[in-house]
Amino acid sequence: MKKITGLVLSLFAGTMLYGQTRAQNPEASQITALQRQIAGMQHQFDALDKTIDDLTWSQRLGDAVLVDKVIITGPPPAVIKNPTGQGAKNPVRFSAYVFIPSRIDPSKKYPLLVLPHGGVHSNFNTAYAHIIKELTAQEYVVIAPDYRGSTGYGQGFYQLIDYGGLEVEDTKSCRDYMLQNYDFIDKKRVGILGWSHGGMITLLNLFNYPSDYAVGYAGVPVSDLIARMGYKGQSYRDAYSADYHLGKSADQNVEEYRKRSPAWNAQKLQTPLLIHTNTNDEDVNVLEVEHLIKSLKAEGKKFDYEIYKEAPGGHTFNRIDSYGAKESRMKIYDFLAQYLKPNKKFKDVKELIEASYFPKQGK
């Protein structure tokens, strides 16, 4: 407690002394170093949270689902400070969760779903447990990457973020890993789905690798980074222009922000796609997704979408546990099933609910 109190007082002192030169205040450099140390401690706390959360997967899923955490590789870092350094251009290692229904027959074939998590800096965690239950109850195999920039793996990994860039490649690497390592995956029945930032990664995977996915779902997807920089606050914009992030603000490099925005790449869509958005979304303003929808229509693309009107839950409206959320997820599962043909597709919301509590009772 004394250490924490001391840190807080030091931070307060740093705020009071901010703006003074080191010549006027020789303690300023010490305060800056302390602030960096505290920022590093946050990554340690995130790693601890991650470890604890990982331990609860088996508790949340029971013995109906086999859970594994694997380490695979994606492309080398987007920014390499010392290209001639030892191992500087090595592929980036990252973790991914593999969920396999325990009752499957390995001699048969099963569909695969790739599920990238949401959040600019976040991770895949047990908040998705109910969705994993629902997917595996239908006998989908699922892989969920903690792609570069995810939290819980230290500051270095956090700062590897390549928003709308190599995160997409990491996610594609998960798809390739599953097809190379699990013979019971049907190569022709691979889909991808995600919400928010995960929805953006979903869209960019579909756009960049149209022949590698049979179907995709994007929920409340980040769709237009240029518009997003306009309606978000300055601290949000500053995060993107950090030297380890995109490096420049949207006004300094509008083309780069456009390249990473699904709404500005709608001409690439070739894969069946369902999009959901919500008019009272407090994170991804509906105007972003509306721009995406209009762009897809302008390009003459065939896709499905629904704009929910003031659905309870805002940004997470169809990821929560309400009945309305489950009805919306049934629409997702019905859409995916058209192309992925799961062995135990839900008939209705009743079966979806039962799968969460009686996952071993299949048909």
Measured CA distances, 170 to 11, 126, 269, 336 (Å) = 37, 21, 20, 22
Measured CA distances, 319 to 14, 66, 189 (Å) = 41, 22, 24
Q: Say which residue, 176 or 63, is predicted with more confidence.
A: 176
Alpha carbon distance 288, 226 (integer Å): 9
- On the 0-12 / 13-18 / 19+ scale of CB atoms within 10 A, 286 is middle
Domains in the chain, ordered, with CATH?
31-224+261-358 (3.40.50.1820)
Q: pLDDT band at 7, cuts 50/70/90?
A: very low
pLDDT of 343 over the 70 cut: yes
pLDDT of 334 over the 60 cut: yes
pLDDT of 303 over the 60 cut: yes
Average pLDDT over every residue of 55-59: 93
Identify the pLDDT of residue 126.
Answer: 97
The one-letter amino acid code at 63 reads D
Q: pLDDT band at 41, cuts 50/70/90?
A: confident
Share of the chain above pLDDT 70, in %: 91
pLDDT of 361 over the 80 cut: no
Alpha carbon distance 83, 207 (integer Å): 30
* Structure tokens given for 97: 């969760």
DSSP annotation string for 98-156:
EEEETT--TTS-EEEEE----SSS----GGGHHHHHHHHHTT-EEEEEE-TT-SSS-HH
Among the residue ranges 16-20, 218-222, 351-355, the one predicted with the least confidence is 16-20
72-121 residue pLDDT tens: 999 999 988 899 999 989 999 999 999 999 999 999 999 999 999 999 88
143-178 residue pLDDT tens: 999 999 999 999 999 999 999 999 999 999 999 999
* Structure tokens given for 67: 């859970």
Q: Answer whether 213's CB lies under 8 Å from 192's CB.
A: yes
Average pLDDT over every residue of 231-251: 90
- For the chain, the average pLDDT equals 90
Average pLDDT over every residue of 27-51: 80
